[in-house]
Amino acid sequence: MNRRPFDPRLLRRVPAARRDLAVLALLGVLAAGLVVAQATTLAALLATGFEGRVDRPALAGFVATVAARALLIWAQGTVSARVAATVKATLRTELLGAVGRHGPGWVAGQRAGQLATLTGRGLDALDAYFTGYLPQLVLSVTVPLAVLARIFLADWSSALIIAVTLPLIPIFGALLGWQAQAATERQWRRLSRLGGHFLDMVAGLPTLRAFGRARAQTEVVRRMADGHRVATMKTLRIAFLSALVLELVATLSVALVAVPVGVRLLGGGLALQTALLVLLLTPEAYLPLRAAGARFHASMEGLAALDEALTLSARAPEPPRREGAAAVPDGRGEIRFESVTVEYERTTALRDVSLTIRPGERIAVIGPSGAGKSTLLGLLLGFVTPTVGRVTVGGVDLADADLDAWRRQLAWVPQRAHLFAASVADNIRLGAPGTPDAALAPAVRDAALDEVVAGLPDGLATVLGERGHGLSSGQRQRVALARAFLRDAPVVLLDEPTARLDTASETVVLAATRRLVTGRTALLVAHRPALLADADRILRVEHGRVTELTPAPVGEAAR
Amino acid sequence: MNGTPRHPERTVLRLARPYLNRLVGAGLLAAGTEFAGLALMATATWLLMSAAGRPPLDRLTVAIVAVRALAISRGVLRYTERLAGHDAVLRLITDVRARVFATLAARPAPRQRAGDALSRLVSDVEAVQDLLLRVLVPAAAAVLVSAVAVGGAALVSPAAAGALAVGLLVAGVALPALATALTRRAGAELAPLRGALATDAVDLTHGAADLAAFGATGYALHAARERAGRLARLERRLAATGFAVDAAGVLLSGLTAGAVVLTALAAGVDGVLVGVLAVGTLAAVEIALALVGAARQWTGLRTGLARVAALLAETPAAPAGGGAGVEPGPHAVRFEEVTVRYRDGAAPALDGFSLDLPPGRRVAVVGPSGAGKSTLAAVLTGTVRPQGGRVTLDGRELSAYRGEELPRAVGGLLAEAYVFHASVRENLLLGRPGAGDDELAAATAAAGLLDWVRAQPAGWETVVGEEGGQLSGGQRQRLALARALLAAPGVLVLDEPTEGLDPAAADAVLRSTLAATPAGHSVLLISHRLLGLTELDEILVLDAGRITQRGRHADLVEAPGWYRDQWLLQEAAERGYLALAP
């Protein structure tokens, strides 16, 4: 696939950068004028210097143009850095926003490490593109035109040779560049994979050690790195070769111009000042095109990241769930699954499930692992949408519902809660960031978290590492429980809440769970029998089908 | 850790020693390239200005040939220089990547965060690459060519050479120093924001479900957006000062050229040579200005380099330096009055723990969480060293064995077993490299995962997601268990092997696991589920690091105490459940 040096989606997706991009183009025009002015004054200075005297106005003009160029370089750099910063900030926000918008199911399929690489280092590669390549791209249009015009005025025959040879640069560049482009793209993919692979290896180091494989795995890392080297050298050989060819083309073209100029100078048919002007300006005509070509390779990483970011953040527009004001389901209403089937890529998680949950009912869900229990909760959370059938709450189809408003009426304790690199208190008040510390105490107590907190160096204010580093899995689960307690929602979804607690603390948590589910609708996935005692009904999920283990209440038997 | 080395560059150069010839060659080629460029402009100017004096053509022949040769050799030199430099550096990088991983692997317990490690390998290691390619090689070339240029100018006019030298010193020393100071300040301001943003990315991707369920996505996004905006504002502000140095560089090249022309004319230098000096000066200053870029790069790289150097300075513990090897097959383990304290003054995690585990014996350790069960497993596998007492394997202390060898004798399913983003087969082979399909099938069957594997279109090659994300919790557990069974150490440690499985599956898996353990191999089973332990030779009840009860299930269940209470509670609840099953 051929990628353009400027992605037009950028203008549409990052409107804030439009004005600065226009300024950048204008500065490019000014820069071209100054290149011509500097060469003209220098030629005059040297021509008079040849006669042994100083042309004071030319000297002043030369210094003035140099000063103006300095100012322009500064402006170009500053403006292009502004563009880079704006674009990066916008794309970062959009990428992370896409993760939030598309929901957890979308992220699970994507390699999270890859996304992290992209939002961090990947997008920083745009700096090289915007501050290095893009201004050069503008110059590669404006400078050759200005130089051609100036030389045409001074010596039209030289201008003619330049006009004929100049297109050779982009032609050769394109011929050689395509190869390099494909190769760089492959290399970028490899690099992200290497990043993901290493993260995986380091995260699994304790396991590698436990099998005595940590050192042996070093060989795997070396192999991956060596593969990276071989692939990179392959790319570079082509990329550098194209630079060499372009340089030779430019050099030969300059020679084509210079030889007749020299001959005419020898024959007295040309003034020295004109000859010097042609000599000084001609290389300038070829330089920006080559420089842009050279930097194109260097900035391809940025372009690849840009493409990935724009594609990722744009893919799959939000499902059209906005017809007027989206309906808000009432958590105190009846929850119905109507012939729901959920199919994933590889498996069918639920088959034709019909189910009614009355307000205030406590329902336990049991079944072998992988049977579809978590999918049942995922449907209610709105993470999973039915392939066939629908889920309604108080008569409102969740597919049309305002999911945020619905989730506000839910408290959820997942199997593996994600803890954030923030204080324990902030992790608990995830759903209600404004909650004062003092108001957390009951939730902390109810989740049997108080003894854990007491053992932490700064209590509730203790800041956890990335992904909750610093707490054991049982302790993390209690934080998740505390989150749910604080939520105080009419519907509670618990996915194995006590899976990581031993019997002693399980008793404590169970007592609190009982308090939590009182007066609320609760759906409890359970392996531990201790959780079943209080359930009004017990459902068994097996092979994607749901069966009732308790006699259905009278009203439901008719269905 | 030896702390941060003061000169990370030296560490890098030490590592670069095997590739030194290639690097020096690349540096000389770079200098040659730059010199050819400078000489080309100077000669061409001389040629043109001499031609204006209409000399006979043969006086110009040498210059004409020189111009052609210089023009072509510049391109060829550049090509070979870049290839040679990159090749040398990439070879070095492969070494560095492997060594960084080896160092991390040799550490007793990795304390750093995963995100940090990622940035460490992918970008810190590239700092090493950039240090050589973008700093040392071009800087050396620039210094070399500057010296040659001043020398050449001095042959024409010492005064002009003086002016040129001043300009080159400003371009090559003062401006780079200024750029370094500015970049350092910018880096110090940018780094914390960039780090925080990376953490935001991890939280928003890995924590997407939690955020969505608690309606906190908006809040987290807002915080991340705010940070991205702050970063952008900072980057814009820093760019304004940063590019002032580039502007100064352009100004400097013009001023130096002007000064050289004036001094040369004042010194009565021939007009043709004044032209040569002027054009040569412009080219030379531009070459020296490359040092500004190099200085900037270098400053940006220092933090990364320091981290890499600190890592590399940790000499990985000698892998084979003494220590006994381990034979596969049965082993005898003894705990003698083992005491473990994680912090001074803290309650002991294990308190005078003694246990005899001869070959073939199967022991369960039960007890409330925090009783010291996982510490026991950690001590047995050598990851935690006891402060008191000793643990022996076949009569020799555990520490007498080589760290790499010990897992062949003692190991299994430990807490938070990791499932790699790789195929099912690769995950399993970690337990026993080179195992055949039959062995894989046997271990997977015992863990109750074989049917699932067979149902997958890709079978053993099914790739499981990041951290095993494509698997359910139970499947992940079964995969980790199968891996442990495949490893089949003489002393099998099973830390909560049926965690996340429902009771019926838990019973079946525990039974098949024990059945799959070869005769003569001993088992240390850690569990808080008491059912299914009837067949074990001994059960220990651990509380606050001490053994409070021990015996066979039949005895313990008769005696009053923690075991009996818990067993009754669990059994009652579970029987209720089982009775409910149709």
Q: Give the CATH number of the domain where residue A88 resides.
A: 1.20.1560.10
pLDDT at residue A324 tops 80 = no
Q: What is the enclosing helix (H) or strand (E) of A537?
A: strand A537-542
* Residue B317 forms contact with A (CB below 8 Å): no
Residue A23's pLDDT band, with cuts at 50, 70 and 90, is very high
Do B309 and B354 have their domain in common?
no
Pairing status of strand B388-393 against strand B410-413:
unpaired
Sign of the torsion formed by the C-alpha atoms of A314, A318, A319 and A324? negative
B217 and B73 within one domain: yes
Strand B410-413, strand A545-548: pairing = unpaired
B61 lies in the same domain as B124: yes
Predicted local confidence at residue B320, as pLDDT:
47
| Band of pLDDT at residue B465, cut at 50, 70 and 90 | low
DSSP letter (8 states) at residue A322: -
In chain B, how many domains are there? 2
Nearest Cβ partner for A70 among B209, B250, B404: B250
User: In which band, very low, low, confident or very high, does the pLDDT at A72 lie, cut at 50, 70 and 90?
Assistant: very high
Chain B residues 151-190 with CB within 8 Å of chain A? none
Kindly give, in sequence order, each residue whose CB lies less than 8 Å from that of residue B268, ignoring residues fewer than 6 positions away.
none
Domain for residue B346, yes or no?
Answer: yes
Secondary structure element (H or E) that encloses residue B549, with its range: strand B546-551
Residue B434: pLDDT over 90:
no
Interface check B45 vs A, CB under 8 A:
yes
Mean pLDDT of A181-208: 64
| CATH code of residue B537 | 3.40.50.300
User: HSE (CB half, 13 Å, CA atoms) of A544?
Assistant: 13
Res B577: pLDDT: 47
Q: What is the pLDDT of residue B2?
A: 43
* Token representation of residue B211: 């955020």
Chain A closest CA to B336's CA: distance in Å?
A: 23
Same domain, A80 and A177: yes
Residue A556 pLDDT level (bands cut at 50, 70, 90): very low
Whether B477 maps to a domain, the answer reads no
Q: Are residues B298 and B372 both part of a single domain?
A: no
Same domain, A100 and A237: yes
Closest of A456, A494, A493 to residue A472, by C-alpha: A456
Pair (B307, B410) in one structural domain: no
Question: Which of A278, A313, A348 is the last residue before a domain boundary?
Answer: A313
pLDDT band at residue B248, thresholds of 50, 70 and 90? very high
Q: What percent of chain B has pLDDT over 90?
A: 27
The answer to whether position A322 is within a domain reads no
Pair A305, A356 in one domain = no
Is the same domain home to A225 and A345? no
Residue B437: inside a domain, yes or no? no
Residue B207 in domain: yes
Most confident listed range (A413-427, A467-481, B273-287, B537-551): B273-287
Any domain includes B54: yes
Tell me the residue type at B153: A
Q: Is B404 helix (H, G, I), strand (E, B) or coil?
A: coil
Residue B444: is its pLDDT beyond 90? Answer: yes
- Whether A549 maps to a domain, the answer reads yes
| B141 and B272 inside one domain | yes
Specify the DSSP class assigned to residue A462. Answer: P
Domain assignment present for residue B441? The answer is: no
Task: Look at the block and give the residue holding tokens 């000399």.
Answer: B55
Q: What pLDDT score was predicted for residue A145?
A: 95
pLDDT band at A557 (very low <50, low <70, confident <90, very high): very low
Same domain assignment for residues A31 and A180: yes
Interchain pair A528, B411: CB under 8 A: no
Interface membership of B259 toward A (CB under 8 Å): no
- Of B498, B491, B556, nearest to B524 (Cα)? B491
Is the pLDDT reported for residue A551 higher than 60? no
Report, as an integer, the average pLDDT of A109-125.
Answer: 72
Please give the share of chain A, as a percent, with pLDDT higher than 90.
Answer: 20
Q: Are residues B229 and B374 in the same domain?
A: no
A402 & A484 share domain: yes
**Which of A34, A54, A74, A473 is the best mutation test for B, with the most CBs of B within 10 A?**
A74
Helices (H), A315-432: 373-381, 403-407, 424-428
CATH code assigned at A505: 3.40.50.300
Residues A88 and A181 in one domain: yes
CATH number at residue B72: 1.20.1560.10
Of the partner residues A225, A467, A549, the one whose CB lies closest to the CB of residue B98: A225
Closest Cα to residue B24, out of B136, B122, B109, B101? B136
What pLDDT does residue A108 have? 60
- If asked whether residues A299 and A349 sit together in one domain, one would say no
Q: What's the domain range around B139? A: 8-313
Whether B239 and B165 share a structural domain: yes
The CA-atom distances, in angstroms, between A480 and each of A506, B264, B365 are 14, 80, 28
Residue B268 shares a structural domain with residue B394: no
Domain-embedded: residue B43: yes
What percentage of chain B carries pLDDT values higher than 70? 90
Residues A291, A343: one domain? Answer: no
Is B265 touching A (CB cutoff 8 A)? yes
What was the pLDDT predicted at B154?
95
Q: Domain tally for chain A?
A: 2
Is the Cβ pair A96, B225 closer than 8 Å?
yes
Model pTM above 0.95: no
Q: Which residue in chain B is spatially nearest to A227 when comparing CA positions?
A: B94
Quick one: pLDDT band at residue B289, thresholds 50, 70, 90?
Answer: very high
Region A271-289: what's the mean pLDDT?
A: 90
Between the alpha carbon of residue B176 and those of residues A81, A498, B138, B182, B202, the distances in Å are 20, 61, 13, 10, 37
Residues 6+ apart with CB under 8 A from A64: none
pLDDT bracket for residue B118 (50, 70, 90) = low
Q: Is B91 left (phi over 0), alpha (psi -120 to 50) or beta?
A: alpha
pLDDT digits (tens, 9 = 90+) for A424-475: 999 999 888 888 988 889 889 888 888 888 878 888 888 887 777 767 666 7
The C-alpha of A123 sits at a distance from chain B's nearest C-alpha, in angstroms, of 11
Q: Tell me whether residues B472 and A229 touch, CB distance under 8 A.
A: no
A1 within domain boundaries = no
pLDDT, tens digit (0-9, with 9 covering 90-100), for B49-93: 888 888 887 888 888 889 889 988 988 999 999 999 989 888 888
Q: Are A539 and A546 in contact (CB under 8 A)?
A: yes
Q: Is the pLDDT of residue A122 over 90?
A: no
Q: What is the pLDDT of residues B411-431, one digit of tens each?
A: 888 876 788 877 889 889 888
Minimal Cα–Cα distance from B352 to chain A, Å?
23
pLDDT band (50, 70, 90) for residue A559:
very low
Asked whether the beta carbons of B29 and B81 are under 8 A apart, the reply is yes
Best mean pLDDT range from A368-377, A525-534, B13-22, B353-362: B353-362
3 state DSSP class of B387: coil
Best A42, A408, A469, A503 member to test B by mutation, with max B CBs in 10 Å, is: A503
Please identify which residue in the block is written with the tokens 């005769």: B519
Q: Are residue B203 and residue B252 in the same domain, yes or no?
A: yes
State which residue of chain B sits closest to A366, comparing Cα positions: B502
For chain B, the average pLDDT equals: 84
Is B251's pLDDT higher than 90? yes
Candidates A380, A121, A147; CA nearest to B119 is A121
- Note the pLDDT of residue A194: 54
> First and final CA of chain B: distance in angstroms?
61
pLDDT at B449 over 60: yes
> Pseudo-torsion of CA A248, A250, A254, A256, nearest 10°?
70
Q: Which of A253, A283, A313 is the last residue of a domain?
A: A313
The average pLDDT across A522-548 equals 79
What is the pLDDT confidence band of residue B244, given thresholds at 50, 70 and 90? Answer: very high
Domain boundary among A313, A348, A379: A313
Say whether both A392 and A288 belong to one domain.
no
- In chain A, which residues have their Cβ closer than 8 Å to the Cβ of B472? 369-370, 374
Q: Residues B342, B300: one domain?
A: no
Enumerate the residues of chain B whose CB falls inside 8 A of the CB of residue A172: none
Q: Of the residues B285, B313, B341, which one is the last residue of a structural domain? A: B313
Q: Report if residue B435 sits inside a domain.
A: no
* Cβ-based contacts of B503 with chain A (< 8 Å): 527, 529
Please tell me the predicted confidence (pLDDT) of residue A459.
86
Q: Are residues B381 and B295 in the same domain?
A: no
pLDDT band at A32; cut points 50, 70, 90: very high
Residue B131 to residue A247: CA distance in whole angstroms = 26
Q: B380-390 pLDDT, tens per residue?
A: 888 888 888 88
Evaluate whether residue A318 is within a structural domain.
no
- Asked whether residue A301 falls in the same domain as residue A363, the answer is no
| Cβ–Cβ below 8 Å for A369 and B475 | yes
pLDDT per position as a tens digit, B326-381: 777 888 899 999 998 877 766 788 888 999 999 989 999 988 766 788 888 888 88
pLDDT digits (tens, 9 = 90+) for A135-177: 998 999 999 999 999 999 999 999 999 999 999 888 887 777 6
The answer to whether B255 contacts chain A (CB < 8 Å) is yes
**A385 and A259 both lie in a single domain:** no
pLDDT, residue B113, reads: 44
Residue range of the domain that includes A417:
335-557
Question: What average pLDDT score do residues A490-501 get?
Answer: 77
Whether residue B126 is predicted with pLDDT greater than 60 in this model: the reply is yes
Question: Per the domain annotation, does A400 fall within a domain?
Answer: yes
Yes or no, beta carbons of B210 and A418 under 8 Å apart: yes
